[in-house]
A = this chain, B = another copy of it.
Amino acid sequence: MKIMIIGASMGLGRALMDGLAQDGNTLYGVARRPPTASSKPTQADWQARQHWISADLSDPQAASELAQACPESLDVLIYNLGIWEDTAFSPDYDFLSQSDQAIRRLVDVNLTGALLAIRHLLPHLLRSTQPRLILTGSTSGLRQSGRPEVAFGASKFALNGLADSLREGYREQGLAVSCLQLGYLNTEDALDVPLQTAAERGQGETIPVHDVLTIVRSLLQLSSASFIRELTLPALRDPRF
């Protein structure tokens, strides 16, 4: 499959980039600063199937430029880009201290960026015989999450609306849209860390990226007759979920 991941250079995006390339897929990773390409002759096969595209989705032109860099047909688009407030997920977070500029930028990246990128890439996706759009949501996008981050939370709720309305508009064309409501991720441990080690780090309060990869792989194995519309994947000890 041809898979594009927006927000691919670090953390979960990088893990999906690597794991799905190892499965034999061709990957297109989009990031503001793509990792420096390894040019060693010993580069693994799967790394040769990773292509990197540089784009800053907060730039108004980015989406249309990205579409030009995109292959004619795309099987899977994973929108994994998301930023949060500087003090988010810490006791220092305070809505009233957020600058107008920071709020604006968060919405621009998390929501407007997603809308524009998807609008420009969707024609490529619809050329696939089995088009799939996967959105990295958050448990902050669900009611009673207990989280006070206003702009982040609003933008993650918005992804659900984006998913819902896109399905409605493109069901007839067979578009599968999946929203993954993820809890706190363990982004310290990359795929090369053993799962068991990664699982132990957060004492059950953070999710190894390996686990998200497992789930995404299973989504891509589904037949052309079904799809996952939404799933909630929290840490096992998440006190809210």
Interfacial residues, chain A to chain B (CB-CB below 8 A): 60, 63-64, 94-96, 98, 100, 103-104, 107, 111-112, 115-116, 119, 122-123, 140-162, 164-169, 171, 174, 176, 183, 186, 195-196, 198-200, 202, 204-208, 210-211, 214-215, 217-218, 221-237, 239-241
Contact = CB atoms under 8 A, between A and B. Distances in A.
Given A104-B60, A143-B144, A168-B147, A228 B222 contact: no
A140 B142 CA distance: 16
In the complex, the count of this chain's copies comes to 4
A165 B148 contact: yes
A208 B226 contact: yes
11 contacts: A103-B119, A107-B111, A115-B151, A144-B241, A148-B169, A152-B165, A156-B161, A157-B162, A211-B226, A227-B233, A229-B234
Contacts of A237: 171, 174
Nearest to A61: B100
Contacts of A107: 107, 111-112, 115
A236 B174 contact: yes
A178 to B, nearest CB: 9
Given A148-B165, A226-B235, A228-B233, 5 more contacts: A64-B100, A95-B165, A100-B119, A144-B164, A200-B225
Contacts of A95: 119, 122, 165-166, 169
A161 to B, nearest CB: 3
B214 A222 contact: yes
Given A115-B154, A161-B158, A235 B225 contact: yes
A204 B225 contact: yes
B161 A240 contact: no
Contacts of A63: 100
Given A218-B218, A225-B211, A234-B227, A144 B103 contact: no
